[in-house]
Amino acid sequence: MSESNVKYTEAEALEFHARGRPGKLEIVATKPMATQRDLSLAYSPGVAVPVRAIAEDPGTAYDFTAKGNLVAVISNGTAILGLGNLGALASKPVMEGKAVLFKRFADVDSIDIEVNTQDCQRFIECVELLEPSFGGINLEDIAAPDCFVIEQTLKERMNIPVFHDDQHGTAIITAAGLINACALTGREFKDIKVVVNGAGAAAIACTELIKAMGVRGDNVTMCDRKGVIHKGRTDLDQWKSAHAIDTPARDLADACVGADVFLGLSAAGALKPEMVKTMADQPIIFAMANPDPEIRPEEAHAVRPDAILATGRSDYPNQVNNVLGFPFIFRGALDVRATAINDEMKIAAAEALAELAREPVPEEVAAAYGGKVHSFGRDYIIPAPFDPRLMEIVASAVAEAAMRTGVAQKPVADIEAYRHQLRSRLNPTVAVMTLAYEGARANPKRVLFAEGEEPNVLRAAIAFKEGGYGTPVLVGRDEVYDQLKELGVDNPQEYEVLNSRNSPLVGRAVEHIYQKHQRHGLLRREIERMVNQDRNYFAAAMLSLGEADAMITGTTRPFSQSLRQVRTVIDDAPETTPFGVNVIVGRGHTVLIADTAVTERPTAEQYAAIAMRSSAFARRMGLEPRVAFISYTTFGNPPGVHIEELRGAVKLLDGFHTDFEYEGEMAPDVALNYEMQQRFYPFSRLSGPANILVMPGLQSASVSTKLLKELGGESVLGPYMLGLELPVQIAPMTASASDLVMLAVLAGGDAHARQKREKGRVQV
């Protein structure tokens, strides 16, 4: 039975939007603006050169400006999701959201524009004048019937793609989901009886598309607020009357009797369980109103367990939402410089989506569904938005359809090469982080928050729990309950708090550590004191004893102290010592740096172990590992000291059967620059720029990582601890609550992977 798996409070939604720089977007320059020369080129006088070139040949605007990859998301706020006409300004969070989805899913740059008029003609005039700025126009949340006039007129007047997402984006995804739901329930598309609730932008476009795809007109009953749209009604505009039928049904309840399909594009709660009861066998219910569907899946399943359910939301299975369409449709259209998005391109997108859902589910998508979804089926009729294949499959289908139909001004010559380029366009780490969060929701773990009295840690624990990522186990005194209350938790008793002074588990913790250290100079009473006074010892013992799956600490004491305490209780993993990895997520690249946390000057054996474990971690991040052992010298030039251990590590790895590339010693500018490697060091065994930099010692690793964070404008994640026997993450003392949530999510993911491996071993 479907159930929403994401919980958040209204305060959290507001805090999310207000945090840091308010809103969800910022503009980033693509060229350096550091020197006088940069300014002269970017602005006056250098900028005059492309100005003249564009004036002479307008097509070169695509070569010299951001136009070709820039889409405007434009609304007047007259139909914001299913919330109604709340005006242009109130629509801004949704439009910013669409803009970031463009970027996240398809690397399309996008900016939101809210136009403050409800006058159709003024709106049209405003948008058409924007043509020079953009490669495409995505109209959003504009109510019917104005949206039909606006889109049609703009398409006629503008020579770039104009696409009303709520109409066509929704229709494409709905059609894809419906094709598959019909196939699963043994229905022929042409025979289905459909009720469409809503007669606005989305409903009319969906109805038109499914009719164009074979559904019979008299088998579709459309309803608006006043009930069934039948031929006897005299209050219908031209768009509604095109779908009026002869029928005795007068309201939604009448229309639902015997219907195979319900398409809800109306408002929250419009479909009642009593109506669902009267539908045909195995009813197909797409309750797509946002943010709250026409019926919640659990309510529908309660009366009809045989129903296939889809909603517009990401927190239930089967998300039928235009986010699956618009990023990839525009990607394909922009890449061939299409002048329009025509019906063939829309149908190509719908078919590509429907087919993709029938392909075997890739491991990372299955993992995000908790390993429960292995193939096409009732809870997986449509791909999930974070499926990494969407970019390649949908965008290339759209580009090909544009070329076939003659609207591509710049056809791609080699479609295979184009597909490859689409595949590599998204940074895999970003996708992997998304999947890590989804994976945590699917496989929630018990994570010990050792510093359970710290406000930041408590905030993280609340977000961890509310996000559905797992169960936080807070180590702290009973006052923690009051602190939770102060932080807005209604029912603090739902949280598990372990008090290291009076928990019945203290005895077991002491005994566990005593067994480990009785012959290494520690007395039982000393251990009792350690466990009582220091929560890291207690938490680590709880983890060792299986009372939780993972542990997180680090915000109240220096890293080295936390690590020493944890290592008193938890062993190092075989053949390694613990070390830290930072992940640098830049624009279009991800680089790992190690060891940023533990060993001042590693031995050759330690360097080799760091390379091996970092490579395995890189694979978890979606990267094909290429390790460089970093030095200030490159293959002995200039001659230097402290390189013997690095060379020793390379030699050691040569003797192992490694499954990753490694090379060294080399300077970072060589390691990260493949052209330089090929030019000056053609014997180098790396097949591309290095993406794991094993640094020559803790000092350089830590210093360079912190410099990148402070000066480089890169996103720096971690350090992540690797090389301990159990999943423990030690946060930096400066960690924010969201850093802690990320570490807890990764620690939980690590625990899940270990448990799966263990299970595999037992089964063998």
Ligand X SMILES: NC(=O)C1=CN([C@@H]2O[C@H](COP(=O)(O)OP(=O)(O)OC[C@H]3O[C@@H](n4cnc5c(N)ncnc54)[C@H](OP(=O)(O)O)[C@@H]3O)[C@@H](O)[C@H]2O)C=CC1
Q: Is 290 annotated as a binding residue?
A: yes
Nearest one of 494, 429, 502, 418 to 462, comparing CA atoms = 494
Residue 342 has φ and ψ, to the nearest 5°, of -95, 180
Per CB under 6 A, 322 contacts ligand CC(=O)C(=O)O: yes
Q: At 402, which helix (H) or strand (E)?
A: helix 390-404
What does the per-residue mask of binding to ligand X show for 149-168, with x meaning CB under 6 A? Answer: -----------------x--
Site for Mg ion in 538-567 (CB under 5 A): none
Coil, strand, or helix at residue 139?
A: strand
Q: What is the crossing angle of helices 201-212 and 170-184, to 10°?
A: 50
In DSSP terms, 448 is beta-bridged to 473, 551
What does the per-residue mask of binding to Mg ion show for 148-187, with x meaning CB under 5 A? Answer: ------------------x---------------------
In whole angstroms, how close is the CB of 368 to ligand X at the nearest point? 20
Q: Is 140 annotated as a binding residue?
A: yes
Task: Tell me 173's DSSP state.
Answer: H
Q: Is 159 annotated as a binding residue?
A: no
Which of ligand CC(=O)C(=O)O, ligand X, Mg ion, none interacts with 320 (beta carbon under 5 to 8 A by kind)? ligand X
* 7 is a catalytic site residue: no
Coil, strand, or helix at residue 612?
A: helix
Which of ligand CC(=O)C(=O)O, ligand X, Mg ion, none interacts with 385 (beta carbon under 5 to 8 A by kind)? none
**How many chain residues interact with ligand CC(=O)C(=O)O (CB under 6 A)?**
8
Closest residue to ligand CC(=O)C(=O)O, based on beta-carbon distance: 290
Per CB under 6 A, 237 contacts ligand X: no
Q: Which is nearer to ligand X, 225 or 525 (CB)?
A: 225
C-beta atoms surrounding 430 within 10 Å: 16
Nearest one of 380, 399, 379 to 331, comparing CA atoms = 399
Q: Which is nearer to Mg ion, 166 or 224 (CB)?
A: 166
Q: Which is nearer to ligand X, 148 or 607 (CB)?
A: 148
In whole angstroms, how close is the CB of 17 to Mg ion at the nearest point? 18
Per CB under 5 A, 141 contacts Mg ion: yes
- The beta strand positions in 101-190, using DSSP E, are 109-114, 136-139, 162-164
In whole angstroms, how close is the CB of 56 to ligand X at the nearest point? 42
Q: Segment contacting ligand X (CB under 6 A): 260-268, 338-346, 571-579, 613-621? A: 260-268
Q: Which is nearer to ligand X, 262 or 662 (CB)?
A: 262
Nearest one of 200, 91, 203, 207 to 143, comparing CA atoms = 200
Q: Which is nearer to ligand X, 223 or 393 (CB)?
A: 223
Q: Following DSSP, what letter does each residue of 473-502 receive, concatenated?
A: EEES-TTHHHHHHHTT-S-GGGSEEE-TTT
Site for ligand X in 41-100 (CB under 6 A): 79, 81-82
C-beta atoms surrounding 530 within 10 Å: 22
Q: Which is nearer to ligand CC(=O)C(=O)O, 290 or 705 (CB)?
A: 290
Q: Which is nearer to ligand X, 223 or 384 (CB)?
A: 223
CA dihedral (221, 225, 227, 228) in degrees, to 10, reads -20
User: CA separation (Å) from 291 to 83, 94, 288, 295, 315?
Assistant: 8, 11, 9, 11, 11
In whole angstroms, how close is the CB of 247 to ligand X at the nearest point? 16
Cα(201)–Cα(171) distance, rounded to whole angstroms?
10
The catalytic position among 92, 98, 155, 346 is: 98
Q: Is 664 annotated as a binding residue?
A: no
- The beta strand positions in 284-425, using DSSP E, are 284-287, 308-311
Q: Is 84 annotated as a binding residue?
A: yes
Q: Segment contacting ligand X (CB under 6 A): 213-221, 223-231, 376-384, 498-506? A: 223-231
Nearest one of 587, 584, 616 to 695, comparing CA atoms = 584
Q: Is 81 annotated as a binding residue?
A: yes
User: CA separation (Å) from 680 to 122, 643, 663, 691?
Assistant: 61, 20, 14, 19
Which of ligand X, Mg ion, ligand CC(=O)C(=O)O, none interacts with 114 (beta carbon under 5 to 8 A by kind)? none
Per CB under 6 A, 71 contacts ligand CC(=O)C(=O)O: no
45-59 in b/e burial notation, b at 16+ Cβ within 10 A? eeeeeeeeebeeeee
Q: Which two tokens stand for residue 740?
A: 């802690």
- The residue from 99, 108, 115, 202 that contacts ligand X (CB under 6 A) is 202
Q: Is 502 annotated as a binding residue?
A: no
How many residues belong to the chain? 764
Q: Is 478 annotated as a binding residue?
A: no
Q: Is 637 annotated as a binding residue?
A: no
In whole angstroms, how close is the CB of 152 to ligand X at the nearest point? 15
Q: Which is nearer to ligand X, 164 or 512 (CB)?
A: 164
Site for ligand X in 290-319 (CB under 6 A): 290, 312
User: CA separation (Å) from 318 to 80, 192, 760?
Assistant: 22, 20, 30
Contacts of 666 (CB under 8 A, 6+ apart): 628, 629, 630, 631, 634, 635, 677, 681, 684, 690
Q: Following DSSP, what letter does each residue of 40-104 receive, concatenated?
A: HHHSTTTTHHHHHHHHH-GGGHHHHSGGGGEEEEEE-STTBTTTB---TGGGHHHHHHHHHHHHH
Coil, strand, or helix at residue 714?
A: coil
Which of ligand CC(=O)C(=O)O, Mg ion, ligand X, none interacts with 266 (beta carbon under 5 to 8 A by kind)? ligand X
Per CB under 6 A, 81 contacts ligand CC(=O)C(=O)O: yes
Asked if 127 and 154 count as a contact pair (C-beta separation under 8 A), the reply is: yes
Per CB under 6 A, 197 contacts ligand X: yes
User: CA separation (Å) from 605 to 609, 645, 650, 695, 719?
Assistant: 6, 8, 10, 14, 21
Closest residue to ligand X, based on beta-carbon distance: 200
Q: Which is nearer to ligand CC(=O)C(=O)O, 267 or 540 (CB)?
A: 267
In whole angstroms, how close is the CB of 365 to Mg ion at the nearest point? 25
Asked if 159 and 136 count as a contact pair (C-beta separation under 8 A), the reply is: no
Per CB under 6 A, 219 contacts ligand X: no
- Residue holding tokens 């953009």? 134
Cα(515)–Cα(509) distance, rounded to whole angstroms?
10
In whole angstroms, how close is the CB of 166 to ligand CC(=O)C(=O)O at the nearest point? 5
Per CB under 6 A, 615 contacts ligand CC(=O)C(=O)O: no
Q: Which two tokens stand for residue 600?
A: 């001042």
Per CB under 6 A, 96 contacts ligand CC(=O)C(=O)O: no
Per CB under 6 A, 141 contacts ligand CC(=O)C(=O)O: yes
Which of ligand X, ligand CC(=O)C(=O)O, Mg ion, none interacts with 154 (beta carbon under 5 to 8 A by kind)? none
Asked if 692 and 628 count as a contact pair (C-beta separation under 8 A), the reply is: yes
Q: Is 141 annotated as a binding residue?
A: yes
Cα(330)–Cα(71) distance, rounded to whole angstroms?
8
What does the per-residue mask of binding to ligand CC(=O)C(=O)O show for 165-204, with x meaning CB under 6 A? Answer: xx--------------------------------------
Give the neighbor-by-neighbor strand order of the sheet with 284-287.
227-228, 220-224, 194-197, 261-264, 284-287, 308-311
Q: Is 83 annotated as a binding residue?
A: yes
Per CB under 6 A, 312 contacts ligand CC(=O)C(=O)O: yes
Q: Which is nearer to ligand X, 79 or 570 (CB)?
A: 79
Q: Contact positions toward ligand X, by CB under 6 A?
A: 79, 81-82, 143-144, 166, 170, 197-203, 223-226, 265-267, 270, 288-290, 312, 320-322
Enumerate the known binding-site residues. 80-87, 140-141, 166, 290
Positions at the binding site for a divalent metal cation: 140-141, 166, 290
Q: Which spans of this chain sit near Mg ion (rule: CB under 5 A)?
A: 141, 166
Binding site for NADP(+): what residues are annotated? 80-87
Active site residues: 98
Tell me which residues touch ligand CC(=O)C(=O)O (CB under 6 A): 81, 141, 165-166, 290, 312, 321-322
